[in-house]
Structure 1
Amino acid sequence: MIGLPQALLLDLDGTLVHSEHIHTEGLVRFCAGRGLELSESEQLFVIGHAWQEIYAELRLEARLGTTLAEVLAGTSAAKDEMFAAGLRLPVLEGARELVSLAHAAGIPVAIVSGSSRAEIVQALAVLEIAAALRFYVGAEDVTRGKPSPEGYVLAAQRLGAAPERCLVIEDSEAGIAAGLAAGMRVLATAAANPPPGRPGHQRQQSAHRVIPGLAGLQLSDLAAVMTS
Structure 2
Amino acid sequence: MLGLPQALLLDLDGTLVRSEHIHTEGLVRFCAGRGLELSEHERLFVIGHAWQEIYAELRLEARLGATLAEVLAGTMAAKDAMFAAGLRLPVLEGARELVSLAHAAGIAVAIVSGSARSEIVQALAVLEIGEMLRFYVGAEDVIRGKPSPEGYVLAAQRLGAAPERCLVVEDSEAGIAAGLAAGMRVLATAAANPPPGQPGHQLQHAAHRVVPGLASLQLADLAAVMTS
Describe the SS at the equivalent of 2:187: strand
**1:116 & 1:162 partners in 2: Cα distance?**
26
* CA displacement, residues 116-143 of structure 1 (integer Å, 9 cap, x when unaligned): 0000000000000000000000000000
**2:169 & 2:212 partners in 1: Cα distance?**
12
**2:108 & 2:177 partners in 1: Cα distance?**
22
* CA displacement, residues 27-59 of structure 1 (integer Å, 9 cap, x when unaligned): 000000000000000000000000000000000
1:203, distance to aligned residue in structure 2 (A)? 0.1
Provide structure 1 residue ranges, at least 5 long, that are not aligned to the other structure: none
In structure 2, the residue matched to 1:150 is 150
**1:163 & 1:33 partners in 2: Cα distance?**
43
1:191, distance to aligned residue in structure 2 (A)? 0.1
Describe the SS at the equivalent of 1:200: coil
1:5, distance to aligned residue in structure 2 (A)? 0.2
* CA displacement, residues 183-208 of structure 1 (integer Å, 9 cap, x when unaligned): 00000000000000000000000000
In structure 2, the residue matched to 1:17 is 17
1:178, distance to aligned residue in structure 2 (A)? 0.1
1:8, distance to aligned residue in structure 2 (A)? 0.2
* CA displacement, residues 150-202 of structure 1 (integer Å, 9 cap, x when unaligned): 00000000000000010000000000000000000000000000000000000
Provide structure 2 residue ranges, at least 5 long, that are not aligned to the other structure: none
* CA displacement, residues 50-69 of structure 1 (integer Å, 9 cap, x when unaligned): 00000000000000000000
In structure 2, the residue matched to 1:217 is 217
1:98, distance to aligned residue in structure 2 (A)? 0.2
1:219, distance to aligned residue in structure 2 (A)? 0.2
**2:100 & 2:77 partners in 1: Cα distance?**
32
Residues matched between the structures, number: 228
CA RMSD of aligned residues (A): 0.2
Describe the SS at the equivalent of 1:110: strand
Which segments of structure 1 move beyond 6 Å, counting only runs of 4 or more? none
**1:64 & 1:13 partners in 2: Cα distance?**
26
**2:122 & 2:35 partners in 1: Cα distance?**
28
1:210, distance to aligned residue in structure 2 (A)? 0.2
**1:65 & 1:152 partners in 2: Cα distance?**
31
**2:31 & 2:131 partners in 1: Cα distance?**
36
1:144, distance to aligned residue in structure 2 (A)? 0.1
Describe the SS at the equivalent of 1:89: coil
**1:6 & 1:161 partners in 2: Cα distance?**
7
**1:48 & 1:60 partners in 2: Cα distance?**
18
| % identical aligned pairs | 90
